[in-house]
Amino acid sequence: MIAMKTLDVEAVQAFVLVADFQSFTRAAEALDTSQAAISMKLKRLEDRLGEKLIERTPRLVRLSARGAEFLNVARDFLAAHERAMAGLSATSRRLTLGIADQIAGPELPVLLARLHAHDPALLIEVQIGASRSLLDDFDRGALDAAIVRREDDRRDGELLSQERFGWFAAPGFERREGEPLRLASLAASCGVRNIAIRALDGASVGWVEVFLGGGMAAVTAAVTAGLAVGALAHRVAPIGVVEVSEKLGLPPLPPSKIILHSTLSDPRSRGALRTLAAAFREHRASIV
């Protein structure tokens, strides 16, 4: 009888996460385990396949040539496993996730793709809005999880990162002497707007809102067109605008904490959120 090789699902999952994150630390965080456990799972998989899949140095984690060839096969293997497990469940699983509009940046599709790859059977519904509105929706049970800016002294939730803010405008934007600062901002309930206004008032800088409540697209359009200044996160500032704090003598804006709130308790959903949190931290670390 010919012995057939079988693959350990957890070992394959550990390999895929290490490959995606290029980090044993992030992979361990996503699986809620230790780096040593990830290393052990990976070694078990490499021994089983008789191939070196990951090349690791103190400063670098990357796929070997054989690991790169195996990666898509590994993804298909995990997807088939998840479909099989989903077929045993009588109910579909859905995750309703809220993400604050000042946080949802260009990496959002990558994060969602990572979440889907982790659990293809999970139906993901994403809502974009102001942090305060999303927190209200979360508190009344309309959202399973929310990634928001910390708006007040509330201390629950998991810290994901800190966001840096600045004053941005088109390169040719000018403010005449004695003229109030033309400000583009989100809705009156927006926490970033409130922080910006407090900073301006505290520094005795006169201001007038020329765009209010049109959403991030309207704010960035007004700033890019040279019509106003916007208080924006450095990460989501549109291409072509510049930081103008020093040029216009504007006060510094304090950083903001990014928090993940969740009510999910079942292991599979918690695992999906750990993957999302690890991916979020990885992308933020790469642009600091």
3-state secondary structure of 209: strand
Per-residue model confidence (pLDDT) at position 1: 40
- The secondary structure of 230-255 as a DSSP string is EEEEGGGPPTT-EE-HHHHTPPP---
Assigned fold of 9-87: Arc Repressor Mutant, subunit A (1.10.10)
Candidates 3.20.10.10, 3.40.190.10, 3.40.1190.20, 3.40.630.10; correct CATH number of 165-254?
3.40.190.10
- For residue 107, what are the CA distances in angstroms to 70, 149, 273, 284? 25, 17, 16, 9
Domain with CATH 3.40.190.10 in the chain: 93-161+257-287, 165-254
pLDDT digit of tens for each residue in the chain (288 aa)? 444 567 888 888 889 888 888 888 888 887 878 888 899 999 989 888 888 999 888 778 888 988 888 888 888 888 777 777 665 554 557 888 999 877 777 778 878 887 777 777 778 888 988 888 899 999 999 999 999 888 677 788 888 888 888 999 999 898 888 899 999 876 666 778 888 999 999 999 999 988 666 667 778 888 898 889 999 888 778 889 999 999 999 999 988 888 999 887 777 777 788 888 887 777 666 555
Domain with CATH 1.10.10.10 in the chain: 9-87
Distance from first CA to last CA of the chain, Å, rounded? 56
Per-residue model confidence (pLDDT) at position 90: 45
Enter the pTM of the model.
0.63
64 contacts 53 by C-beta, under 8 angstroms: yes
Assigned fold of 93-161+257-287: D-Maltodextrin-Binding Protein; domain 2 (3.40.190)
CA 180 – CA 205 distance, rounded (Å): 7
Per-residue model confidence (pLDDT) at position 166: 92
